[in-house]
Amino acid sequence: MSANVNHSLPLEYQTEQNRLNILGFWIFLGAEIVLFATLFAVYGVLGHRYAGGPTPSDIFKLNDVLIQTLLLLTSSFTCGLAVFFMRQRDMKKLLTWFVITLLLGAGFLFMEIREFIHYVHEGATMQTSAFLSSFFVLLGTHGAHVTFGIIWAIMLIIQLLQRGLTPVTARKMFIISLYWHFLDVVWIFILTFVYLKGMVA
């Protein structure tokens, strides 16, 4: 709500409605943690049930995974920079870093889709075994989140260009940055408990 503006705070915290939205989004992230935890639990239970199909060490490729990790990790960093420059009211740097973030995210998505297509060509599909079902759905859910984030970010860039930095656009930018960092956190666990775990044995 437009009343109750506190100019001593960063733009995204200035209005009461903004503070409500930011808290609400944090709580939504709590729900997202539970959602991904459930997918990890499923993978934890089914991850070794290969049903005679390919095993992790048969299909995982370290190089591809590392490139994906670096892309996403860097995009989380550049997203942080975008918010940093937003707080300095530097629209140009904000947009620059944010667009870089998106490009890195798109690069990650490209790599992931390529990886999936590669698996499918090797006969490792979602229907092959319980391991692959849980693998594809866990990774796919993360990938779908990234895709959604990219579409959302494009909408936001249009709004930033239309309206400049206002408490509302700043709040939206801040919230999407939380979302983006969160996706990176999820990826860290995917890297550890899916890829590295699968390649250790």
Partner 1 sequence: MEHKSKYPVSHVVGFLFSLVLTFVAVFVALKMNVSYTIVMWIIGSLAVIQAGLQLFMFMHVTEGEDGKTNVINMAYAVFVAIVIVAGSIWVLTSGHAAH
Partner 2 sequence: MGIKWNEILVGGDPLLVGSQIAIVLTVVAIVVGLTYFKKWGWLWREWLTTVDHKKIGIMYIVSGVLMFFRGGIDGLLMKAQTARPEMNFLDAQHYNEIFTTHGVIMILFMAMPLLIGLMNVVVPLQIGARDVAFPQLNALSFWLFFSGAMLFNISFVVGGSPDAGWTSYFPLAGKEFSPGIGNNYYAIALQIAGLGTLMTGINFIVTILKMRAPGMTLMKMPMFTWTTLITSIIIVAAFPIFTVALALMTFDRLYGTHFFTLSSGGSDMLWANLFWLWAHPEVYIVILPAFGIFSEVIATFSRKTLYGYKSMVISIVGIAFLSMIVWVHHFYTMDAGPAVNSFFSITTMLIAVPTGVKIFNWLFTMRKGRIQFTTAMLWALAFVPNFVIGGVTGVMLAMAAADYQYHNTLFLVAHFHYVLIPGVVFAVFAGLYYWWPKMFGFMLNEKLGKYHFWLFTIGFNVTFMPMFFLGLKGAVRRAYTYSAESGFAPLFLVSAIGSIILAIGFAVFCYNIYWSFRYAKRNVSHDPWDARTLEWMTASPVQFYNFAVVPEVKQLDAFWHMKKRGETLTLKESDIKKIHMPSNSGLPFYMAVVFGITGFFLVFEAHIAAAVAAIGIVVGLIVRSFDYDDGYYVSVDEIKQTERTWRNVEGGTENHVG
In angstroms, give the least distance from the CB of 136 to partner 1.
19
Which residues touch 165 (CB under 8 Å, ≥6 apart)?
A: 11, 86, 89, 91, 94
> What x-and-dash track marks residues 163-182 binding partner 2 by CB under 8 A?
x----x--------------
Tell me which of 13, 50, 84, 189 binds partner 2, using CB under 8 A: 50
Q: Does 140 bind partner 1 (CB under 8 A)?
A: no
Q: Does 18 bind partner 2 (CB under 8 A)?
A: no
* CA separation for the pair 195, 182 (Å, rounded): 19
* CA separation for the pair 39, 41 (Å, rounded): 5
What is the b/e burial string over 94-133, where b = at least 16 CB atoms within 10 angstroms of the residue's CB?
Answer: bbebbebbbebbebbbebbeebbeebeeeebeeebbbbbb
Q: Does 178 bind partner 1 (CB under 8 A)?
A: yes
Residue 74: contacted member of partner 2, partner 1, none (CB under 5 to 8 Å, by partner type): partner 1
Tell me which of 26, 118, 141, 163 binds partner 1, using CB under 8 A: 26
Give how many residues touch partner 1 by CB under 8 A. Answer: 50
* CA separation for the pair 128, 116 (Å, rounded): 14
Which residues touch 190 (CB under 8 Å, ≥6 apart)?
A: 138, 139, 142
CA 169 to chain centre: 20
Q: Does 57 bind partner 1 (CB under 8 A)?
A: no
In angstroms, give the least distance from the CB of 34 to partner 2.
4
Residue 50's identity, in one-letter code, is Y
Which residues are near partner 1 by CB under 8 A? 9-10, 13, 19, 22-23, 26-27, 29-31, 33-34, 36-38, 40-42, 44-45, 62, 66, 69, 73-74, 76-77, 79-81, 84, 87-88, 177-178, 181-182, 184-185, 188-189, 191-193, 196-197, 199-201
Which residues are near partner 2 by CB under 8 A? 1-3, 19-21, 23-24, 27-28, 30-32, 34-35, 38-39, 41-42, 45-46, 49-51, 53, 126-131, 133-134, 136-137, 151-152, 155-156, 159, 163, 168
